[in-house]
Chains A and B, each alone.
Chain A
């Protein structure tokens, strides 16, 4: 046998082995060979100035040429001849910037992330599927397709995305595809609908029914009424009573007797996380320096990279609109046109009810409704895994809606207990896309209100202002007409009286136009008092931010840009201002040592602002949180999830009745012991961990913020940010949620606007435009937005011409 031949065979095998290994996915590790190859791997995504040069691209189906001008900040401005061309170009441009993100979001919404991430995504995917995300998305697509305008919009957009995917040089495939090892599918209108469902999931799945039921069971009704009041003179309602609710309301028939829910056994459920919220406000010309209205909006969402938003301008001879949209959703979601501006905050009214279901037996095939056993609609769900294997599960549907956690299953997630069904407004969408289409083109308040008729979910509070001088605020969505108390706790799935019997007519939702105060603003707090005839919800975000908006705007009669900017970035916490002086009163100085005493002086001089350099906020938070935790220890330490009163209500009651027995457990006998004891404890702990009060206690140092990549790929996010702020101030920067964009619009003619969003146009981590706005965002700076009236005005860094291809 030839010795060389043996050597050849040996080396050939070794080479093949190594090449094969480098070309394989091992576990979640990417294929190393192709990833590192500069000819096809990640190096291909290193973007440089050659990317930012003029080019022409041919698209089929265009009726004329479309010009996309990128400005110096990387914002695309699209100029097209008609709707179809416009939305095709929007689809193309969005895919160019954010293809991976938009597909990832759609996959997440449809419970398919297991296909790319595997096991770790199984619980999340199950949650999304059992929530019935697909039910809502399919209904939305049907509604979109029934109107010519929204149909053209979504079809052209889809076509634009898919032409981008088809033309895409596989070497330039977005980085995340290369790392996670898969390729894009074609886009569909259903995926755009899923993007809307994602937002409904984020904003309207609250799941208070179960924990409220537990609290009711333990503490009784008087406690609920005191600590979770539907109406209160401490609520800062943003829809005032100006005689606008003089219509004849609809009524829902209450049940003959209230039922007591059965689920009282342990059932670990995630409690809803406080902190998601937003601010918006409009100021009438009578209170601005220019005499024209001004508007501001900053939605607080989980910050990610790529950003949840993409900013752009859309222009045809019939529409000129600028603002922010979700990658995957055609049109502009938050923004302005040449006549009006609009902004969104989450309405927070109750959009999801949990129903106790009585199954006939352990096969869960039938459930009781009135006197009858109705069949459960069962469907087999298959979850494909990244490694090619599959997991199956049963999806159960009742006439109320889906059973979100299988009966007798370990509750893997979230919000609802096992064996219960939900009814969720997002399963019954309107035509939100048409609504966006019409808002983008609205010329006045009449157009705007008509556009809202198609907007069902997620319910939003829309601020409005226009160049003719009108302002308004609309708490809007599809709201069931509820009898008093309906949906506050777990509902009876057997009793028709617990169903959603009717809906609030679309023109009877709470709203105010040109309020006598001269301004209107919302921050997710309880929207409207008992002068409004319908009951929309009980648990809203607390009132601190809303009250601060009201306070600042009622004290300023000459609002201008610099005032608005300061207001958007306001770090004052009404929570701190309300409770801290009382805590200081209740402390027993004779029990403190010298250092604790000295620190007390620093606290008493604090201006209640969560500024980056400030020392007191960090300690105040610990102190107040410590007291709050001690007070509710018995409720939070249970083996079942109980709703706990928020800090605002706790503070209000604590100040009003400091001697109430509720506040003290075995360790403390009165308010002085409680506040002093926890002050000393937290002070000593803080000193032990961070040393004497000094730089280490600065708010920015203690509260560094990070923005993670959507799929949590290390290195693709940003960390070490020090923007200041707190969830209870207008500059609502928290651990989980923060102002994802900020926009101020001056409704003079021509309309001018300033804004920033926490990200950049590009979804490519190898691009300068991936996160180019983050530094400005962190520093509290806004950019003037280039709102070009005509293509000739466009001062672009570079342009892409989409030309018609026969």
Chain B
């Protein structure tokens, strides 16, 4: 399911603004998830990993020039922190999207 979030997220964010990753995670869990930790994990890892992989892809061959400069701008000594923050922002917004999607699924399909 993480993979599914990644693929949907890629598709969405290719054409839509950055927050469409959150919607992608939500849609996937809306249709496919059944447990909350599944959905959170899928959204969290799916979008987080997608952002990390995409960032790594974008900056391959750059020799860390940009990551290094961005790190100094934000007051860090190493570019690794910039990757970490990228992952966290993707992951948090993806995880929240997943959770929201799951709640929508519950409220639509499960009546208590």
In the complex, per-residue mask of B88-104: 1 if CB is within 8 Å of any chain A CB, else 0: 01101100110110011
Are A4 and B107 closer than 8 Å at their CB atoms?
Answer: yes
Are B65 and A766 closer than 8 Å at their CB atoms?
Answer: yes
29 contacts between A and B (CB under 8 A): A11-B100, A12-B103, A15-B22, A19-B96, A33-B18, A33-B89, A34-B17, A37-B90, A38-B55, A40-B17, A41-B18, A42-B70, A43-B54, A43-B55, A43-B58, A43-B59, A46-B58, A46-B59, A47-B62, A48-B61, A49-B61, A714-B73, A714-B75, A765-B65, A765-B69, A766-B65, A766-B69, A767-B65, A768-B63
Cα separation A40 to B19 with both chains bound (whole Å): 11
- Find chain A residues with CB under 8 A from B14 CB: 39
Kindly report which residue of chain A lies nearest to residue B25, judged by CB atoms: A15
Residues of chain A at interface, number, CB under 8 A: 43
Are A5 and B107 closer than 8 Å at their CB atoms?
Answer: yes
Chain B interface mostly helix, strand, loop or mixed? helix
* A567 lies within 8 A of chain B by Cβ: no
Are B18 and A45 closer than 8 Å at their CB atoms?
Answer: no
Cα separation A15 to B95 with both chains bound (whole Å): 9
Kindly report which residue of chain B lies nearest to residue A39, judged by CB atoms: B13
- Find chain A residues with CB under 8 A from B19 CB: 19, 22-23, 33
* A44 lies within 8 A of chain B by Cβ: yes
Out of A11, A23, A32, A766, name the residue touching B103 (CB < 8 Å): A11
Residues of chain B at interface, number, CB under 8 A: 45
Are B107 and A715 closer than 8 Å at their CB atoms?
Answer: no
Name A422-477 residues within 8 Å CB distance of B: none
Chain B nearest CB, measured from A494 CB (Å): 53
- Find chain B residues with CB under 8 A from A768 CB: 63, 65
Kindly report which residue of chain B lies nearest to residue A3, judged by CB atoms: B112
Residues of B within 8 A of A (CB): 13-14, 17-19, 21-22, 26, 51, 54-55, 57-63, 65-73, 75, 85-86, 89-90, 92-93, 96-97, 99-100, 103-104, 106-107, 110-112
Are A715 and B72 closer than 8 Å at their CB atoms?
Answer: yes
- Find chain A residues with CB under 8 A from B70 CB: 42, 715
Chain B nearest CB, measured from A17 CB (Å): 9
Cα separation A343 to B57 with both chains bound (whole Å): 45
Out of A36, A44, A714, name the residue touching B86 (CB < 8 Å): A36
* A18 lies within 8 A of chain B by Cβ: yes
Out of A8, A14, A42, A49, name the residue touching B66 (CB < 8 Å): A42
Cα separation A569 to B105 with both chains bound (whole Å): 73
Are B100 and A8 closer than 8 Å at their CB atoms?
Answer: yes
Cα separation A37 to B93 with both chains bound (whole Å): 11
* A50 lies within 8 A of chain B by Cβ: yes
Out of B69, B86, B104, name the residue touching A43 (CB < 8 Å): B86
Out of A11, A47, A766, name the residue touching B96 (CB < 8 Å): A11
- Find chain B residues with CB under 8 A from A713 CB: 73
- Find chain A residues with CB under 8 A from B59 CB: 43, 46, 48
Chain A nearest CB, measured from B58 CB (Å): 4
- Find chain B residues with CB under 8 A from A5 CB: 107
Cα separation A350 to B18 with both chains bound (whole Å): 55
Cα separation A7 to B110 with both chains bound (whole Å): 13
- Find chain B residues with CB under 8 A from A14 CB: 96, 100
Out of B63, B85, B100, name the residue touching A15 (CB < 8 Å): B100
Of all A-B residue pairs in the complex, the 5 with the closest CB atoms, nearest first, are A48-B61, A715-B72, A766-B66, A37-B18, A46-B59
Are B100 and A18 closer than 8 Å at their CB atoms?
Answer: no
Out of B58, B63, B65, name the residue touching A38 (CB < 8 Å): B58
Chain B nearest CB, measured from A222 CB (Å): 55
- Find chain B residues with CB under 8 A from A47 CB: 62, 65-66
Cα separation A714 to B73 with both chains bound (whole Å): 5
- Find chain B residues with CB under 8 A from A38 CB: 51, 54-55, 57-58, 86
Are B96 and A18 closer than 8 Å at their CB atoms?
Answer: yes
Which of B13, B19, B67, B90 gathers the greatest number of chain A CB atoms within 10 Å?
B19
* A281 lies within 8 A of chain B by Cβ: no
Cα separation A43 to B69 with both chains bound (whole Å): 12
Kindly report which residue of chain A lies nearest to residue B76, judged by CB atoms: A715
Cα separation A517 to B103 with both chains bound (whole Å): 89
* A67 lies within 8 A of chain B by Cβ: no
Cα separation A717 to B15 with both chains bound (whole Å): 34
* A716 lies within 8 A of chain B by Cβ: yes
Kindly report which residue of chain A lies nearest to residue B109, judged by CB atoms: A4
Kindly report which residue of chain B lies nearest to residue A41, judged by CB atoms: B18
- Find chain A residues with CB under 8 A from B61 CB: 48-50
Are A32 and B99 closer than 8 Å at their CB atoms?
Answer: no
In the complex, per-residue mask of A765-786: 1 if CB is within 8 Å of any chain B CB, else 0: 1111010000000000000000
